[in-house]
Structure 1
Amino acid sequence: MSPAPTGPVLVTGCSSGIGLATAQALLDAGHIVYATARRPETLTGLASSGARTLALDVTSEESMSVAVKSIEAEHGRVGALVNNAGYGEYGTIEETDLEKVRTMFETNVFGLARLTQLVLPAMRDAGEGRIVNIGSMGGRFTFPVGGYYHSTKYAVEALSDALRNEVRRFGIGVSLIEPGLIRTGFEGTALSSGAAAAQGSSPYAALLASSASNTRGGYGNRMISAGPESVAKVVRRAIESGHPKPRYVVTPAARALIATRTLGGARLWDLMMRAQFNG
């Protein structure tokens, strides 16, 4: 497996947060970077830094196909794909609108899967490539009020594990990045979700209020949260390493929570959730 892809790097969801930081870190490292977003006008800063920019909506087959074909027409293949686009639709299992959940799955899971399908044939022909999926510590355990979002990240875990063992024979490496709390504004989107915000009229009002308080407190605590640059550094490592790891956990707090859930089992985890979420 080559120490780094010889083709360009395609990064999704670059308008802000992890995608923006990742594209910039890869540019700084000398990679050819295609920074993409649904609204390409949000990418002017990256374009000024030397990124090639494209419109790419991971819920649109046409948009994904056009973007990949454009890169392949110029370079022959995508050298590395960073599947970063995603968001959180929060709320209790009972109350969350399933149409909104389906839309989230289209972005977080099916878009990731389809874009991966589109870049793989040329990678196989070249005998090299990298796929880096941005998952979450939330693919290894579940907080109440985040069940549907966690479900998308559990799905990304499964897809990444299967894909890694399917494509390594073709010289393609697959890594999953599992960030903890990253200060990107993610929590604002999550807390404004319809079911998560409807506290007053909900039988889960106390739980929703506790969840909102814990979320704000966690992201605001710089001892347990980190900036998006911390994820960008790990993505670069996964792309450039001659022997990329299957998983990279980002932040000490995320490692501690994953270990607690894995080693302590469901009973201990449930006790922690009762204490943290008041019930």
Structure 2
Amino acid sequence: MNKIETIIKKDYTLHPLRIEKVESGSGSTYLIKTFKNQYIGKLNNRKSIINIYEKVEPILNKQGINQCKVIRSNKNLLTVNDFVLYTYIPGYTYHQFNPIQEKNALLYMKKYHQILKTVPFVEDELPLENHWDKMRSIDYLINELTPITNDKDIHKGIDILSQYKYVLKNLPKQLIHSDLGPDNFIFNQDEVISIIDFTPDYNHELYSLGHFIYWNYLWDNHNIQKIDLLNYFHYYKEYSDLEDIFLIILLHVALIRILGVLMIDHKKKINKRLDILRQLLKIIVR
């Protein structure tokens, strides 16, 4: 009997017929089928993040943003040995959006963050447990990335980010989802029905858009165009005065993605991430 099956039977009194690894989403995610219901189980979920999720989930659900609910254990615990059990939302995820799906994802994400803006939240509620958490600090990013690489484009990006760091720090901030790749959206055909794998951060709403663009446009694009980036930005007309800052936010995201890899494994190839950075620099430095 594996770890998940043991926990489900002992701590939730469920009797699974089948436990299947789910390829999409982040972390170790499993679809758990019982005679009556289906559930999502996740390993390696930090309790600190689940505490934040349980705070926002009912608010999002009440406003029509469908969210999985956390199922507490028999002892009323949110997590059991880093395992979390969720209700299941049926639907599909895609590795790449078609134009209609992308538009719907952007609109859904905007509504999602408009609701998160109403959630009382302070930055101190966020965990500071690993290097990804620490990279929320621009100073940490600059100080850690500068000495571990001699790449001139990375250093050029750091120099530009350094010039804007006080502007970025002073932007109005809110609770956001900071890692919205294509497999973080559940669809029914072309309609978004849920956003999953909550990755909390405390930053400007455009920072979340920056990560969305990174995974959904920049990641597989060898011909990045400024007009395409601005087409995403124009979904947020209320921030029209931040167009130049929006491009710096994209640069910030690109540098985070480079440091994230280098801090885990210095030998891992970062060519794709470097290409994204270099294309962004050509757009910014003109």
**Highest RCO, 1 vs 2 (Cα 8 Å, sep ≥ 6):** 1
TM-score, normalised by the number of residues in structure 1: 0.27
Larger Rg: 2
